[in-house]
Chain A
């Protein structure tokens, strides 16, 4: 891969740079710690790349603005943190229901409520999956390193376009503010996805007819096909329907779109996992401490490995089952009081002991804490 430049940047800046590399051309946001730098960087970068930035009047408006822009053809992104993420949930559900491609970055901070605005947490995992009302499809990605933040936000934008679904991009205060060296590739080196095109530009009246991947062939506003978008249950025409059959088909199609394509969405990484007797499952910045713990324990001859989900949802259930096979113990560290571990327990059942390492005091989980749990 041809590298354009090497930069020393924070995770929030890497996220903004990645959004530009992904072809993102609209950002609607609202200031909130510890995500504000993403808005600040994009307010500078977007107009230089013919994109547009707006600081909306509140978090709800920010979410609404990216949906409107996306329906009019833009690749749209917003960034927020805990309380703002809570406020965005209703419109996030609209984007799931109306199948609007968009990316919501949540630089996680302590909660509940105002919590600890400038301290790290990973406490929005289940809200990311189930925050808005009703059954709905979602993609959640949690990168670890600053370089990975750059590449994975591009993947987030690509997935949102390819599957016309909101993607939640979870950073935390640690990797949002931490600085590392990143390599930025030449623009042509990165594969970019665009939403599937309807078979005709003009007069297309089935905006919710699906392609072979189950993704609707929705035109962009203003292209010559006039169509209707609503948060009500609707059929392939986009118009509300009271038919039990149409409604049930819609809800199944929404979930199937992600479930049937999960192999194209799921991404994970392993480190010293094959011969390990104890497997740590960690994501986001906690995976950094987990990796260090593995390195230190391996030096002492202890057989420990790491499984790092990068896509949190859809969940890498089969890969986790396979990675846990034959292991004597699983350790799940996370900066909350036990959220993703509920999912791990659901997948692995009761046959294998699962230890938790949790912390919500605003301090990162240390390698020592993880080593003690191993």
Chain B
């Protein structure tokens, strides 16, 4: 991580302080996105940063790109329209676990299937923060939330396995704890010419943490540190050692034609038929 990184270059500082709670991991994840953009040297005018509704979705307002704060769950649908109208733009989507995988689950799998060149960063804090700590599709089974006062009985989604199964061509998982790794994952996600999913664990001391023995931000970060195993290392570990562990790092890469490029061939075919 660059020690003297000039975040002001990318932030709309007049709208800071942000609305996130003290100790929230979302600012850490957002900073990783900014560092990745900086390392890639992208033109700010050519970046569309799109979000839905929830804590994660406020990220876009603080950043000096072309920003769009849409409706709950629909960021990928709006982003798809932007990318198709302006294929030359870099489209990055910030979405939460509830936003991307519950109300927006349909858009998530279809964006993966289409392999449209959009990078989705899932700010996964395993809870609905903005509405007061209800359980989400990524809340670990048995966890407490304001709508699971006796412990959640629903199994969670594995965000990355879902993305891989649906056809995303770059899939990675990182944490707010390991920002050096997260920077790289976001950077490679943006570089991938196709649909990329970068899941980032983000601690929520206010709701998830308070109800699940991760009361302080440090507790939440420690949990992230302890629960993960680098994917590269996991290859040499047996099932017993991997029990209860979550893989981080690059989990999937594939080469597949990108949607807007494929649509260019549709235009060519339609116009060559006219020319004949």
- Which residues of A approach B to under 8 Å, CB–CB? 26, 28, 44, 47-48, 50, 52, 54, 56-58, 60-74, 76, 90-91, 94, 221-224, 226-232, 239-240
Contacts and interface: CB of A to CB of B under 8 A. Distances in A.
Given A60-B74, A240-B61, A226 B66 contact: yes
Contacts of A232: 69
B84 A54 contact: yes
A320 to B, nearest CB: 36
A194 to B, nearest CB: 15
A57 B107 contact: yes
Residue among A57, A63, A223, A224 with the most chain B CB within 10 A? A57
A64 B267 contact: no
A226 B45 contact: yes
A357 to B, nearest CB: 39
A224 B47 CA distance: 10
A286 to B, nearest CB: 34
Contacts of A63: 77
Contacts of A64: 70-71, 74, 77-78, 80-81, 107
Interface string B248-264: 00000000000000010
A65 B76 CA distance: 8
A95 to B, nearest CB: 10
B70 A72 contact: no
B157 interface: no
Contacts of A226: 44-45, 64-67
B165 interface: no
Contact of A72 (B65, B85, B106, B271): B85
B67 A68 contact: no
Contact of A227 (B67, B106, B271): B67
Contact of A61 (B45, B86, B110): B110
A76 B81 contact: yes
B67 A69 contact: no
Given A56-B80, A57-B106, A226-B65, A72 B89 contact: yes
Tell me the interface secondary structure of chain B in the complex. Answer: helix
Interface of B: 12, 15, 44-46, 48, 50, 60-61, 64-71, 74, 76-86, 88-89, 106-107, 109-110, 263, 266-267, 269-271, 273-274
Nearest to B274: A48
A288 B154 CA distance: 57
A65 B84 contact: yes
A57 B80 CA distance: 11
Contacts, number: 139
A131 to B, nearest CB: 15
18 contacts: A47-B269, A52-B267, A57-B109, A61-B106, A63-B77, A65-B78, A72-B85, A74-B85, A91-B71, A222-B66, A222-B86, A222-B88, A226-B44, A228-B60, A228-B61, A228-B67, A229-B67, A231-B71
A69 B84 contact: yes
Contacts of A74: 81, 85
A76 B12 CA distance: 30
A181 to B, nearest CB: 24
A269 to B, nearest CB: 35
B107 A52 contact: no
B71 A61 contact: no
Sort A-B residue pairs by CB-CB distance and give the 8 closest, nearest first. A68-B81, A64-B77, A69-B81, A47-B270, A72-B85, A65-B81, A68-B78, A61-B77
Query: Chain A binding site: helix, strand, loop or mixed by DSSP?
Result: mixed
Given A61-B106, A61-B107, A221-B89, A72 B81 contact: yes
A90 B107 contact: no
Contact of A26 (B61, B66, B81, B270): B81
A90 B71 contact: yes
Contacts of B271: 47-48
B76 to A, nearest CB: 8
Residue among B60, B69, B266 with the highest chain A CB neighbour number at 10 A: B69
B70 A221 contact: no
Contacts of A222: 45-46, 48, 66, 86, 88-89
Given A61-B76, A221-B82, A230-B61, 17 more contacts: A26-B84, A44-B270, A47-B269, A50-B267, A57-B106, A57-B107, A62-B77, A64-B77, A66-B81, A68-B50, A221-B48, A222-B48, A226-B44, A227-B67, A229-B67, A229-B68, A231-B69
Contact of B80 (A47, A68, A70): A68
A71 B68 contact: yes
A165 to B, nearest CB: 18
A54 B85 CA distance: 11
Contacts of B67: 226-229
B80 A65 contact: yes
B89 to A, nearest CB: 5
A227 B70 contact: no
Given A221-B86, A231-B69, A232-B69, A28 B106 contact: no
A44 B61 CA distance: 38
Nearest to B57: A230
A239 B86 CA distance: 23
Given A226-B66, A227-B66, A72 B86 contact: yes
Given A90-B71, A91-B71, A57 B44 contact: no
Contacts of B46: 222
Contacts of B15: 239
A67 B84 contact: no
B27 to A, nearest CB: 18
Contacts of A240: 61
